[in-house]
Amino acid sequence: MSRGPVSEVPLHGGDPSVLRRLNSVATLRALRGGGEPTLSELAKQVGLSRPTTEGVLGELVERGLVEEVPPRSGAGLGRPARRYRFRAEAGYALGMEIESHRARIFVADLDGEVVGGHSVELDVDWEPPERLAAVRAAVKTCLARAGIERSALWAVAAGTPGVIAPDGTVAICTVVPGWQGLHLARELGRSFSCPVYVENDANLATVAERWRGVAKDVDDVIYVLAQLHTGMGAIINGRLHRGRWGAAGEVGMLPELGLRDTTAALSGAMSPLDAGAGEGGGESSGGGSGGGRDAGAERVLDAAMRGDPEAVALVERLAARMARGIAAMALALDPEMIVVGGELTHTGDRLVEELRRHVRPLCLGPTRIEASTLGDEAVGLGAVRLALDQIDERLFSIETAS
């Protein structure tokens, strides 16, 4: 359906380049939604004339964002109508998680379809140069296996523990050696020609759970990354809440809220009964620096996963302790849902059930407490989503010239 010119609208001052951009963005949005519309269908959907739509499509095809697909042989007479589709393979987003003991990489097309992934173990004691070298090697392997050129990456994002400043510097971090003070976005940026973003790991897990996890389409969510260091993230009104200095969600800094020294809580309390590999499993293995993995705590988690009653009881006691910190966050924000993920949830549903039992009575509303459905992939997938959001912002911005 073609429309004549509409009457005056005082929104853009009639700047023709802005209008062209508006038309282009609206057409791209319509195609991005999926399907393979014909020119007429597209023109109707967007509310433009056929000639305008044709011009816009020509430009989008030239930019590699759209392609003509083979016409479908219709039942009618005459030439079947040309159809168009968004080229999700025009570019890729790479998301990664960098922890003390592992790195996990995902690469996805512009539709968010994950087309490749790779994980590597990292040494907890590695300093940044070794850690970054291992991450670079993992990225290379990931891209090679997925058959994707590095130049096809349009944005890269990384999630890592700690408070991340807006410029991608690790402002505060106690769990990855040498990480604090590192300009991680710049360090990673040396390997890519596209923009690189860095974000707190729990924040990215929150984003992932809302994107394709248990919090899908929930606008007010808290995510608890329950592992040997426990972090939290929040989405408020559908937007990730980073805070003024990237430090939102750090209520665990208050010692009385039971979120600190999770490792010590597990490793110190377990009797040497289940010690297995020896090593004592004493009070302070690993030390107060919270430096990544702790052999004693690992053993408790492993034992709890095998159903060892003593270990299970320890995990449950830990949940009771953590409840204060999670409740503080929930009382501050009053979210619709709290999602619990991270390694501590590998012990099965026990931790989440215990948290429900202890956190619910402290909340003022009927907040739902759910186990993550994304498991260990949450942070990496959240990084992919962050990279895609940055790409979308450029693609759909009306201000930016293409």
Binding site residues, a second copy, CB under 8 A: 3, 5-14, 16, 19, 22-23, 26, 46-49, 52, 163, 171-172, 220, 234, 236-237, 239, 241-254, 256-257, 324, 327-329, 331-336, 362-367
Angle between helices 350-359 and 309-333 (to 10 degrees): 40
Residue 273, judged by CB atoms within 10 A of its CB (0-12, 13-18, 19+), counts as exposed
Considering the complex, state which of residue 93 and residue 232 has its C-beta at the smaller distance from a second copy.
232
- The two tokens of residue 372 are 């993550």
CB of 177 vs a second copy, minimal distance in Å = 20
Considering the complex, what minimum distance in angstroms separates the CB of residue 362 from a second copy? 7
Polymer length of the chain:
402
* Closer residue to a second copy in complex, CB, 252/296: 252
Minimum Å distance from CB 11 to a second copy?
7
Q: Which of 161, 141, 41 is nearest to 94 (CA)?
A: 141
The nearest distance, CB 315 to a second copy, in angstroms, is 23
Instruction: Name which of 124 and 240 has its Cβ closer to a second copy.
Output: 240
Distance CA 257, CA 37 (A): 55
In whole angstroms, the minimum distance from the beta carbon of 252 to a second copy comes to: 8
Q: Which is nearer to a second copy, 87 or 242 (CB)?
A: 242
Q: Residue 387: exposed, middle, or buried by beta-carbon count in 10 A (0-12, 13-18, 19+)?
A: buried
Q: Which is nearer to a second copy, 103 or 259 (CB)?
A: 259
Q: For a second copy, which is the closer residue by CB, 240 or 318?
A: 240
Min CB(259)–a second copy separation in Å: 10
Provide the token pair at 302.
Answer: 């492993």
The minimum distance between CB 21 and a second copy, in angstroms, equals 11
Report the DSSP pairing between strands 368-371 and 337-341. parallel
Burial class (CB in 10 A: 0-12, 13-18, 19+), 222: buried
Q: Which among 328, 363, 357, 326 is positioned nearest to 341, based on CA atoms?
A: 326
- The distance of Cα 390 from the centroid of its chain, to the nearest Å, equals 12
- Quote the CA–CA distance of 71 and 214 in Å, as a whole number: 39
Distance CA 262, CA 264 (A): 6
Q: Min. distance of Cβ 59 from a second copy in angstroms?
A: 16
Strand, coil or helix: 236:
strand
Rank residues 27 and 267 by Cβ distance to a second copy and give the closer one. 27
Tokens, residue 32 = 């991005």
* Rounded distance between C-alpha atoms, residue 381 and residue 379, angstroms: 6
Residue closer to a second copy, measured from CB, 283 or 334: 334
Sheet with 231-236: strands ordered across: 239-240, 231-236, 221-225, 337-341, 368-371
Q: State in angstroms the smallest separation of the CB of 73 from a second copy.
A: 31
In terms of CB distance, is 127 or 334 closer to a second copy? 334
Query: 3-state class of 58 per DSSP?
Result: helix
